[in-house]
């Protein structure tokens, strides 16, 4: 089984450099390592200072790099569906070339990039998969897609397929519009199945760690806090925070105001992310580009330790019995009571934090039990399920 490490952070904090440095150190320890960029604006090749392509490229002993490409990814993972979408655009009057371009829908490249993670894991060619992910907002959106896809394939997809099978021939004859055939639906099922496999891999605490990269700036810290909350919400395990570009004490008078601001922010970062370990890397005199500088960055962050180790293990949510009832506990760091909304719908518990929402599928033992209340204590959401016959509970909010 491959070790999977996903680095994300606000744009410009140096996550690509940290990801590349981690991959370089892992390879130096003898691990067959690939560093995969899923960011649409790739900079991994710049960091390694060597060309990379849409397939794995050897960049050093035990080390490969890869920058996904939209055309390559769509042809590999989305070909059948894209062909149908293209045919619909051509039916609407677009020429073949324009229809082909338009069928590459926004987000398909990033989505297909996620599938590379599962492919590298399943093929077993690499011991370590380091992912240089997109900035946090985009990463969060993509990480929520596998769960949304699972809901779609279970709830909506079968109905659409039946309707298309019955009404498709009639619609095709009457208005001439191309209708999706069984091959299109089968390709969709395979795609959603792969996405669900990606979700299983990325939420497995024995395989995967999400690592946040930040700098000691207020806006960056706030975004990292929000990301940390949402990773907990979706069950993605976070084991490390990399604090990059820390101004050293002897940086000189030009950097003094900046250094003092970082000094004031450091205790806040330590307190807010506790108990997640935080590693620091200095602001280097030279640009972090090329193998020597990446080794220097990696040495500063990991101080001779194995970068693939699990630095923290925690459980984002759990179920337990309490006074004869079941209690669901969900950690939501950096969240206030007013930001949380709950709604119960059969076997689903919808948890909404701000504008992010997650559907938690309840275990069988809780499906027939009514929710009896919820509370928020020390950044832990607790939802109680009363023992007894089911009742009409409606929505509950706290």
d(C-alpha 354, C-alpha 230), whole Å: 10
Q: Which CATH number fits domain 1-314: 3.40.50.300, 3.40.50.620, 2.60.120.10, 2.60.120.200?
A: 3.40.50.300
- Residue ranges of alpha helices (H) inside the chain are 15-28, 44-48, 70-77, 79-91, 96-102, 108-123, 136-155, 157-175, 182-202, 218-233, 256-273, 291-302, 364-367
- Residue 279 in contact with residue 251, Cβ under 8 Å? no
Q: Where are the domains of the chain?
A: 1-314, 317-385
CB 84 within 8 A of CB 183: no
DSSP 132-190: EPPPHHHHHHHHHHHHHHHHHHHHTHHHHHHHHHHHHHHHHHHH------HHHHHHHHH
Q: What is the distance, to the nearest Å, from the Cα of residue 284 to the centroid of all Cα atoms in its chain?
A: 29
Residue 398's pLDDT is 35
Q: What is the pLDDT of residue 369?
A: 85
7 forms beta bridges with: 132, 211
Would you mind telling me the total number of residues written for the chain in this entry?
398
The partner residues of 129 in beta bridges, in order of sequence, read: 4, 34
- Output the pLDDT for position 64: 98
Distance in angstroms (rounded) separating the CA atoms of residues 239 and 278: 9
Q: Which CATH architecture does the domain made up of 317-385 adopt? A: Sandwich (2.60)
In this structure, the strands spanning 380-385 and 325-331 are antiparallel
What pLDDT is stored for residue 322 in this prediction? 81
> Rounded to whole angstroms, how far apart are CA atoms 131 and 2?
12
- Residue 193 CA to its chain's centroid (Å): 17
pLDDT score for 339: 87
Q: Phi-psi bin for 9: left (phi > 0), alpha (psi -120 to 50), beta?
A: left
Residue 181: HSE in the Cβ half-sphere, 13 Å Cα cutoff: 7
**Residues of the chain scoring pLDDT < 70:** 70-111, 137, 140-142, 144-190, 316, 359, 361, 388-398
Q: Which of 256, 247, 243 is nearest to 285 (CA)?
A: 247
State residue 147's pLDDT score.
Answer: 63
Q: What is the spatial distance between Cα 32 and Cα 191, in angstroms, rounded to a whole number?
A: 28
């Amino acid at each position: 089984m491959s070790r999977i490490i996903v680095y994300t952070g606000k744009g410009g904090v140096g996550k690509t450099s940290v990801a590349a440095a981690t991959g370089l150190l892992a390879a130096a320890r003898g691990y067959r390592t690939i560093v995969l960029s899923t960011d649409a604006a790739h900079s991994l090749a710049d960091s390694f200072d060597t060309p990379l392509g849409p397939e794995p490229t050897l960049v050093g002993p035990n080390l490969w790099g890869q920058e996904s490409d939209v055309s390559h990814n769509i042809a590999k993972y989305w070909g059948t569906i894209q062909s149908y979408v293209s045919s619909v655009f051509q039916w609407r009057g677009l020429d073949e070339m324009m229809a082909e371009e338009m069928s590459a829908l926004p987000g398909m490249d990033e989505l297909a990039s996620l599938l590379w993670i599962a492919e590298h894991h399943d093929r077993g060619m690499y011991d370590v998969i380091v992912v240089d992910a997109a900035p946090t907002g985009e990463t969060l959106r993509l990480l929520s897609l596998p769960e949304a896809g699972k809901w779609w394939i279970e709830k909506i997809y079968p109905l659409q397929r039946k309707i298309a099978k019955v009404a498709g021939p009639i619609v095709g004859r009457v208005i001439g519009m191309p209708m999706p055939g069984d091959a299109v639906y089968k390709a969709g099922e395979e795609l959603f199945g792969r996405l669900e496999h990606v979700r299983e891999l990325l939420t497995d605490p024995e395989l995967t760690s999400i690592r946040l990269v930040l700098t000691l700036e207020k806006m960056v810290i706030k975004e990292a806090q929000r990301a940390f909350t949402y990773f907990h919400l979706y069950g993605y395990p976070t084991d490390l925070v990399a604090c990059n570009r820390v101004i050293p004490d002897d940086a000189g008078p030009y950097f003094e105001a900046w250094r003092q601001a970082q000094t004031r922010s450091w205790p806040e970062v330590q307190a807010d992310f506790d108990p997640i370990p935080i590693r620091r890397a200095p602001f280097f005199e030279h640009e972090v580009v090329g193998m020597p500088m990446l080794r220097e960055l990696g040495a500063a962050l990991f101080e001779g330790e194995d970068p693939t180790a699990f630095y923290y293990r925690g459980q984002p949510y759990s179920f337990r019995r309490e006074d004869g009832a079941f209690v669901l506990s969900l950690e939501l760091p950096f969240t206030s009571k007013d930001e949380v909304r709950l709604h119960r719908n059969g076997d689903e518990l919808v948890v909404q934090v701000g504008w992010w929402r997650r559907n938690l599928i309840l275990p069988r033992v809780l499906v027939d039990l009514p929710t009896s209340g919820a509370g928020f204590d020390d950044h832990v959401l607790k939802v109680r399920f009363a023992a007894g016959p089911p009742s009409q509970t409606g929505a509950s909010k706290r």
